[in-house]
Structure 1
Amino acid sequence: MPEETFGPLGAIFAMDQPASSAHTREAFGWTPTHPNLLQNLENLR
């Protein structure tokens, strides 16, 4: 259980926290050039 391991911060680690690079792309005009995670994992086969 995250609450038991991380104390008061455990609830933060137990939450679903989706991530996106949309802000970085917009703020810096960044475009990724490497494979995404799923493509990279597929290449490991």
Structure 2
Amino acid sequence: MDTFGAHLRFQRGDAEGARQALGRAEVSVIGIMQGIHGLGVAIGGAEEEGE
């Protein structure tokens, strides 16, 4: 939803609003990817990353 909001804000010329919406979208995508990786680790399909 944030990605679509960023698109609409960009079309309206609201660059700052688009940046903010893209930032929220990026955080959401990172969370999803971490969740996918965590699930992969839990079922043994991926290795846990070292810190």
Give me the TM-score of the superposition, normalised by structure 1.
0.27
Give me the TM-score of the superposition, normalised by structure 2.
0.26
Q: Kindly indicate which of the two structures has a greater share of residues assigned to helix.
A: 2
Higher relative contact order (CA 8 A, sep 6+): 2
